[in-house]
C-alpha cells in the first residue's frame, strides 16, 4: 500500500474526532527551525459545522485491538486497515506544511498491539518532527489510555496539546459500548497530565531551558447522542473535569451513525447537531460566565431547550432577578443578561465610570439589544415603548433563536482530507488528490 492510500484511509478514519482546535501556545520561529505556533491560534479555518480543518488530522493507524461499538475502527468492523511508519508520517507533515496545506498536526491512533507500543510509535513520529526536521508548528496528540505514564510524559514534552477521549459520559455506557475501557483507565492519564503540567510550570520558572510539557494543556471529547445520557449528566461531567483535571476544553461530538448496532441509534438517524451546539453554548457559560451546571439544568429538566439558547432559557426562568439597572449592576450580573457577552460587560464597566449609559450607548458597546432589552433598565427606564413581561420576552427570544437557526441551517457533513472543493463554500479548504500526489512526488 502506498502512502497516498494510507493517507486516504487514515485521514478518513480520523474525521470523527473533533477535539482539534489549536489555540493556547506561543512559540516563535527561531533561526534554523520550521514553523511557529501563536497563542491566538495558528492560521486555521473551520468547516461550516465548526470543526477545524487546517491541521493534518490523521491516525497513525486504524488497526485497533479494542472493539468500541460506536467506532469505525473497532476490531470487528470489516474495513481497510493501514498504518504509517513514523518516518512516513513525519515526511508527510513536513511536505504539507512547507506547501501551506496545513498549519499543524492532529495525531490520533487506534491501539496497535498494546497502548505502550502505540505510544512509542507516536513518540518516534514526534521526535522525528521536532528534532530531525526541527518542526516548531502546532502538534495535538492523543494519549492512549493504559500507556505507561513515563511514555506519556515523553510524548507530552513533544506535543503542544494532549487529550484523552472520555468518549461516553457514564461508566454504564462505557461498559455497554466500549467494554475494553473503564472510567479509571481514562481518568488516570488525565490525572497524570494534570500533575506533570503543574510540576512543569514550576520547572520552567526555576530552569530557563526546561522543556515545556503540553503548553496548550489537555482536552477531551465526548460523544453526544450515542447513549441515553442526558445533557445534565454530560454538563455535570464536563464541570467536574474542568475543576478536577484543569482541562482546557471539552469537545462535544454529535454521534454520526456509521455502524449497525442494537444499542446505538439507527443508521439513518441524523447527528444531533443542535444538541451539540447547545452543549457548546452551555460549556461557554461554565467557563466564562460564572454559571454552574446545576443552574442550567436539573433532574426534572435534564435536557436543553432546543428553541432557545441556555442563557436565554435560564434568564426566562429567573425573571425575578430582572430587569437589572445597567448603570449599577455588578459585573457578574451583567454577564447573566442575554445579549451581553464578556467583552460588552467589560466595556459597560469601563464606560459607566465616565457617565450614565443609555440604550444608544449600549448598542455602540456591542450589546445585542434585541435580546437584552427585556432584562435591563438604563437609569431606571426600559427601552422606549417596551413593556417587559415574561411572555413578551419569551415570544421574542424564541422567534429570534428560530430565525437564527433557520439562517444558519446548514446540512453539514464532516469533511475528509480529499473532499471535493466546493466553490460556493470558502471555508472548504480540502485539497485534491492530484495536488497531494504532486506534492509528495516533488512536482510542486
Ligand atoms: S480504542 Fe479508539 S480506535 Fe479503538 S475501537 Fe475504541 S474508539 Fe476506536
Band of the pLDDT at 121, cuts 50, 70, 90? very high
In 3D space, the residue among 98, 97, 103, 143 whose CA is nearest the CA of residue 120 turns out to be: 143
| Confidence (pLDDT) at 360 | 93
CA of 202 to the centre of ligand 1 (A): 35
Euclidean distance between CA atoms 94 and 104, whole angstroms? 9
**Ligand 1 within 6 A of CB of 111:** yes
8 Å CB contact between 104 and 37: yes
254 bridge partner residues: 224
Ligand 1 nearest-atom number relative to CA 67: 5
CA of 190 to the centre of ligand 1 (A): 18
In 3D space, the residue among 430, 406, 435, 422 whose CA is nearest the CA of residue 52 turns out to be: 430
Cell of 164: 484523552
Euclidean distance between CA atoms 38 and 18, whole angstroms? 21
| Confidence (pLDDT) at 41 | 33
8 Å CB contact between 437 and 4: yes
Place of cell 518516518: 87
Helix ranges restricted to H, 260-378: 273-288, 293-296, 310-316, 331-334, 342-351, 359-364, 369-372
Euclidean distance between CA atoms 340 and 109, whole angstroms? 41
**Ligand 1 within 6 A of CB of 110:** yes
Share of the chain above pLDDT 90, in %: 49
Cell of 31: 533561526
Mutate to test the pocket of ligand 1, among 72, 83, 111 (most ligand atoms within 8 A of CB): 111
pTM: 0.82
Mutate to test the pocket of ligand 1, among 18, 61, 74, 145 (most ligand atoms within 8 A of CB): 74
Q: Express each pLDDT in 205-254 by its tens digit.
A: 888 788 889 988 899 999 999 999 999 999 999 999 999 999 998 999 89
Mutate to test the pocket of ligand 1, among 71, 163, 164, 181 (most ligand atoms within 8 A of CB): 71
Going by CA atoms, what residue is nearest to atom 6 of ligand 1?
68
CA of 68 to the centre of ligand 1 (A): 6
**Ligand 1 within 6 A of CB of 74:** yes
Cell of 105: 498536526
**Ligand 1 within 6 A of CB of 66:** yes
Ranking 52-61, 180-189, 365-374 by mean pLDDT, the lowest is: 52-61
Euclidean distance between CA atoms 96 and 323, whole angstroms? 54
Ligand 1 nearest-atom number relative to CA 65: 4
Mean pLDDT, the chain, integer:
83
**Ligand 1 within 6 A of CB of 68:** yes
> What's the mean pLDDT in 16-38?
57
Going by CA atoms, what residue is nearest to atom 1 of ligand 1?
66
How do 376-377 and 324-325 pair as beta strands? Answer: parallel
Amino acid at each position: 500500500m502506498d502512502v497516498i492510500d494510507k493517507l486516504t484511509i487514515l485521514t478518513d478514519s480520523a474525521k470523527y474526532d473533533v477535539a482539534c482546535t489549536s489555540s493556547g501556545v506561543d512559540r516563535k520561529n527561531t533561526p534554523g527551525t520550521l514553523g511557529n505556533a501563536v497563542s491566538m491560534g495558528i492560521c486555521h479555518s473551520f468547516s461550516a459545522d465548526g470543526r477545524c480543518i487546517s491541521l493534518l488530522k490523521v491516525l497513525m493507524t486504524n488497526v485497533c485491538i479494542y472493539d468500541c461499538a460506536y467506532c469505525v475502527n473497532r476490531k470487528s468492523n470489516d474495513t481497510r486497515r493501514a498504518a504509517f511508519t513514523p518516518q512516513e508520517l513525519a515526511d508527510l507533515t513536513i511536505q504539507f506544511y512547507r506547501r501551506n496545506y496545513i498549519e499543524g498536526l492532529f495525531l490520533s491512533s487506534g491501539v496497535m498491539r498494546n497502548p505502550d507500543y502505540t505510544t512509542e510509535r507516536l513518540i518516534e513520529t514526534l521526535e522525528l518532527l521536532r528534532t530531525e526536521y526541527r518542526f516548531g508548528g502546532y502538534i495535538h496528540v492523543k494519549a492512549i489510555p493504559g500507556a505507561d505514564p513515563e511514555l506519556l510524559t515523553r510524548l507530552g514534552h513533544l506535543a503542544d496539546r494532549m487529550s484523552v477521549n472520555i468518549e461516553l459520559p457514564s461508566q454504564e455506557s462505557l461498559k455497554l459500548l466500549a467494554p475494553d475501557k473503564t472510567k479509571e483507565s481514562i481518568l488516570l492519564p488525565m490525572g497524570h497530565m494534570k500533575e506533570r503540567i503543574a510540576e512543569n510550570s514550576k520547572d520552567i520558572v526555576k530552569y530557563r531551558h526546561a522543556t515545556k510539557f503540553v503548553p496548550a494543556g489537555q482536552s477531551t471529547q465526548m460523544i453526544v447522542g450515542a447513549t441515553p445520557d442526558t445533557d445534565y449528566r454530560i454538563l455535570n461531567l464536563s464541570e467536574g473535569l474542568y475543576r478536577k483535571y484543569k482541562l482546557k476544553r471539552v469537545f462535544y461530538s454529535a454521534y454520526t451513525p456509521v455502524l449497525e448496532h442494537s444499542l446505538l441509534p439507527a443508521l439513518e438517524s441524523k447527528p444531533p447537531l443542535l444538541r451539540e451546539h447547545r452543549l457548546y453554548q452551555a460549556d461557554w457559560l461554565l467557563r466564562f460566565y460564572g454559571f454552574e451546571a446545576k443552574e442550567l439544568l436539573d433532574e426534572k429538566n435534564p435536557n436543553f431547550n432546543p428553541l432557545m439558547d441556555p442563557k436565554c432559557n435560564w434568564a426566562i426562568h429567573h425573571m425575578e432577578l430582572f430587569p437589572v439597572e445597567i448603570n449599577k449592576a455588578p459585573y457578574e450580573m451583567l454577564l447573566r443578561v442575554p445579549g451581553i457577552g464578556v467583552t460588552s460587560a467589560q466595556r459597560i464597566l469601563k464606560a459607566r465610570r465616565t457617565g450614565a449609559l443609555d440604550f444608544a450607548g449600549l448598542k455602540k458597546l456591542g450589546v445585542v439589544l434585541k435580546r437584552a432589552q427585556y432584562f435591563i433598565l438604563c437609569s431606571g427606564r426600559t427601552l422606549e415603548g417596551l413593556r417587559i413581561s415574561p411572555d413578551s420576552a419569551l415570544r421574542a427570544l424564541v422567534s429570534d433563536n428560530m430565525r437564527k437557526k433557520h439562517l444558519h441551517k446548514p446540512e453539514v457533513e464532516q469533511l475528509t482530507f480529499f473532499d471535493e472543493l466546493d466553490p460556493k463554500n470558502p471555508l472548504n479548504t480540502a485539497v485534491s488528490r492530484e495536488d497531494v500526489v504532486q506534492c509528495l512526488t516533488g512536482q510542486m
